[in-house]
Structure 1
């Protein structure tokens, strides 16, 4: 098994630890060694797993190791990745109950794809993308670096979502639309038009807040 640590010991970090455990129940792949989190004290136990330190301690590790960045907020996730220096790999973690579609799909590094997610075909995920529980991703969708799709979302075909954008729980995006970078789509919104960068999008049909 390969050693792996998780940066982020909050709710999604704990869910990611569970994800690793569920992968191992199917096929022993990961030896989870603990959490890194700058907000918690070294040695603290989180769900029986140790906090090993923060960025400072992580960057002192000299051996090659796998790291999962389990932070839902796109901007924080990006800032953490940019601070990490070391001989680390960022594997894409895929739950056994995630339907990854066909060979036409491309997944970048550092992604976390959780239980019940469904991908179809022609989809591209760039690096450090999170797609959370029970979301569906239609054909030819592009999710740019650090985008986050929260639980129960539905993205129709030919949609593009920009870097560091976040789609709230249960939101929907209709086909052939483009969402810019650094956008926030509110929970339950139904997006029926394009939106440029740095917009907060809410409502049915969705509008700029």
Structure 2
């Protein structure tokens, strides 16, 4: 049975069989913003462009690799000392499926809009933490987006075999003016990897701000 995570919860990557979870997908599913037209007879769905990203930090909390959209402007990234975006990190141990610029348009379809596959056995030894986060490329904030869910599952980007853990973010007033969301982190504890649900929403309007925030405020968790 999948673990329903709460904010701040930390878990071992141990399956019910006792085996360790090492190959899995981190997927995010979100919905477009629905509104009603004249007399409520018609429905409109505004597309929501969220970007799932990940940064890899070394044992000193320094950025050593990354996955974020190649569509981000290099000149803006350079202002934060960041390299161009890419969809693969750690020699292929992490891979991104690519951008989804709309979200679900007909309600929750149960499928993830963007996914990062993870092979922990292939992550270099100098990597101590991997943070997963979302940035909204539009003007909406997370109080308007009907749902955003992160989950870890065994399988492939096109086939879910077994959901290990999930974390839901509901549309709530506390997320007003918050356009980025630091969702969770994988971290080494001795020879093992563990996962912590973070769920902190921020006012960052660009991925560079979120990466800087993670390095400055979260690397010593």
TM-score of the superposition, structure 2-length normalised? 0.23
The structure richer in strand per residue is 2
Higher relative contact order (CA 8 A, sep 6+): 2
